[in-house]
């Protein structure tokens, strides 16, 4: 009986998500969160932040493909496949990033003294530059950035709390990071910024 009720609830949520209902999308996320998070914690050896990131990316994929949900006959099997695919993508990126960073760092020692001489700011001032960039952000952008980085909330959770769309959260975070990167470049952190970009994007 419970299984049938779950199936009916799931189908209603999928139909609503399919036409762009963000509240139903949030409910669908909550419905599967514990199971998928537990699965990812096992598969990532208990790396909480990694598990959350993969889960977030997986549900972002669900949202972006919401118009095709009616074609999915078994959502549970489908979402597990999506999560598994995202996890494999993450592992490939991690392996690639490790190789890239090791190769980059092999040349970093030689350049480090030059970096220290050429840059007016020392490495210990990096946080001050970032803090300054955050302080200059508009009120809403700063709030969303802090909810993401300080409170460690997902875009879905932020959107739910603020009553805005998930896409708006993603766009705001992208703008915030772009603003921080610009300030780092202006402060002369070009090589350090390169390391950060390698770790984040490769």
Domains and CATH numbers, the chain: 2-92 (1.10.1740.10), 107-201 (1.10.10.10)
pLDDT score, position 164 = 92
CA–CA–CA angle 109, 111, 117 (5° rounding)? 120
| 41-50, 77-86, 111-120: segment of lowest average pLDDT | 111-120
- Average pLDDT estimate for 169-183: 87
Per the CB < 8 A criterion, the answer to whether 191 and 113 are in contact is no
Element (H, E) at 20: none
What is d(CA 99, CA 97) in angstroms, rounded to the nearest whole number?
5
Residue 97: what pLDDT?
Answer: 55
Phi, psi of 121 (to 5 degrees): -95, 140
Contact 158, 144 (CB under 8 A): yes
Q: Give me the mean pLDDT over the 81-92 stretch.
A: 84
**Amino acid 162: pLDDT:** 92
* pLDDT at 131 (0 to 100): 82
Q: How far apart are CA 77 and CA 47, in angstroms?
A: 23
Backbone angles phi, psi at 68, to 5 degrees: -105, 0
- 200 and 154 Cβ atoms separated by less than 8 Å: no
The pTM score is 0.48
> Could you tell me if residue 153 is left (phi over 0), alpha (psi between -120 and 50 degrees) or otherwise beta?
beta
Q: Identify whether the C-beta of residue 86 lies closer than 8 Å to the C-beta of residue 61.
A: yes
Q: Where are the beta strands (DSSP E) in 70-174?
A: none
Q: Taking the C-alpha atoms of 61, 167, 23 and 84 in order, what is their torsion angle to the nearest 10 degrees?
A: 20
Half-sphere exposure of 72 (CA within 13 A, CB side): 22
Residue 161 has pLDDT above 50, yes or no: yes
CB-CB contact of 142 with 134 (8 Å):
yes
Q: Which pLDDT belongs to residue 137?
A: 92
Mean pLDDT of the chain: 77
Judged against a pLDDT cut of 60, whether residue 202 lies above it is answered with: no
Is the confidence at residue 99, as pLDDT, over 80?
A: no
């Amino acid at each position: 009986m419970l299984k049938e009720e779950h199936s009916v609830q799931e189908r209603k949520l999928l139909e609503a998500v399919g036409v762009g209902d963000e509240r139903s999308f949030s409910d669908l996320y909550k419905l599967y969160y514990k199971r998928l998070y537990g699965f990812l914690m096992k598969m990532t050896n208990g790396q909480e932040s990694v598990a959350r990131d993969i889960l977030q990316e997986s549900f972002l994929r669900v949202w972006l493909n919401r118009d095709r949900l009616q074609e999915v006959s078994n959502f549970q099997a489908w979402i597990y496949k999506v999560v598994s695919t995202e996890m494999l993508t993450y592992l490939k990126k991690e392996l690639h990033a490790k190789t890239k960073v090791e190769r980059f760092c092999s040349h970093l020692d030689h350049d480090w003294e030059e970096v220290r001489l050429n840059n007016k700011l020392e490495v210990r001032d990096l946080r001050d530059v970032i803090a300054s960039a955050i302080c200059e952000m508009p009120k809403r952008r700063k709030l969303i950035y802090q909810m993401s980085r300080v409170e460690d909330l997902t875009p879905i959770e932020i959107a739910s709390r603020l009553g805005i769309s998930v896409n708006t959260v993603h766009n705001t975070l992208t703008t915030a990071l772009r603003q921080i990167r610009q300030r780092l470049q202006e402060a002369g952190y070009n090589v350090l910024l390169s390391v950060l970009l390698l770790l984040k994007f490769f």
